[in-house]
Amino acid sequence: MILLIGLAALAVHSHAQSVITLTPSPNPPPGASRPGNHNFPSLAFEKSSFYAYAGNSTHPNLFSQALIDILQSKDHYNASQAAAVVKPHPPDPNGGLWGYSIGPSYFDALANFNSSKYIWMLPMAHAAGLHMGAEALTQAKLALRNIGSKLQLLELGNEPNLYHEQGMHGAQYDVARYLSEALQHEADIEGNVTAVKRVKYQALAYDSGVSHAVWNEEKAFGAGINRNARIGSVSWHYYQSVSSGGVTLRKTLMNHTATVTKLSRFIPNIRHLYNRNANLDFVLGEVGSVIGPELKWDV
């Protein structure tokens, strides 16, 4: 009985909250961005948990499948659209994310989201010279076999600006080295995986804290990342804050000034891409409010 009263009170309370209406001005302020395309929702899974979210070949995770179907059926269908797809314009080494070993059957899971498109990342941190490492190539082949025609793009490395400081490449690792490696990886995929001829790539994937003065689109494109006209999009990662940095809701996560300041760093890169007029998409490919295991909810 007490429980029922409690539930009723809760229902009334949340109903009262749900009638807040927002009335944005019909006239966008000067300098507002062009409208974003909302047709391409996506979810990210850590490599360490993807298999659990997906399930295996005999026991697919039905909850995940239903969730993705709902997201897609709400946002993705446009009966008058001719193109198949219209793209939108911590780990702490001790934190439990690293050190996993996966076997070939892992890749069966990729077949379980059969209505989704995939961007598959080609890991470059352990490249063999400029070439793809043998493990990276093996995994890419297995993945692409299961992804099949659902492949959207191949991503060239993950947060390459961090390779040097994470001890995975020599001190000389810079934009020029990333470019040479990325172009060699494109060639290695072309040479080894006949099924993905003329695939497009997602470049950069720079980390959230990267120095935009050193690692930016002007430098990467100026030096020839799109030399083969194979880049389809450019990805950046964005975290609003790092948990070790005294994060609070008021100061950091729900602070409009802080959000605007941090996101504004991308404007020159967005403008550069737009001015190239090459139909390249800008993607915030990894986004989170806070990175790091602990957050003090000190409002």
Ligand X SMILES: *[C@@H]1O[C@H](CO)[C@@H](O)[C@H](O)[C@H]1NC(C)=O
- Where do contacts with ligand X occur on this chain (CB under 6 A)? 39, 56-60, 65, 78, 80-81, 114, 131-132, 137, 187-188, 191-192, 250-251, 255, 257-258, 261
Which pair of structure tokens corresponds to residue 209?
């804290």
Q: Which residue is nearest to ligand X (CB)?
A: 191
CB nearer to ligand X: pick between 57 and 166? 57
Q: Measure the CA–CA gap between 283 and 88, rounded to whole angstroms.
A: 8
Q: Minimum distance between the CB of residue 291 and ligand X, rounded to whole angstroms?
A: 17
User: Residue 180, exposed/middle/buried by CB under 10 A (0-12, 13-18, 19+)?
Assistant: middle
CB nearer to ligand X: pick between 54 and 175? 54
Q: Which of 186, 187, 178, 167 minimizes the C-alpha distance to 217?
A: 178
Separate counts of helices (H) and strands (E) for the chain: 8, 5
CB nearer to ligand X: pick between 181 and 207? 181
CB nearer to ligand X: pick between 159 and 188? 188
Q: Minimum distance between the CB of residue 133 and ligand X, rounded to whole angstroms?
A: 7
Which pair of structure tokens corresponds to residue 280?
């390249």
Q: Minimum distance between the CB of residue 286 and ligand X, rounded to whole angstroms?
A: 22
CB nearer to ligand X: pick between 137 and 283? 137
Q: Minimum distance between the CB of residue 15 and ligand X, rounded to whole angstroms?
A: 30
Q: Which residues of 28-53 are buried (b: 16+ CB within 10 A; e: fewer)?
A: eeeeeeeeeeeebeeeeeeeeeebeb
With a CB cutoff of 8 Å and minimum separation 6, the contacts of 66 are none
Q: Minimum distance between the CB of residue 201 and ligand X, rounded to whole angstroms?
A: 16
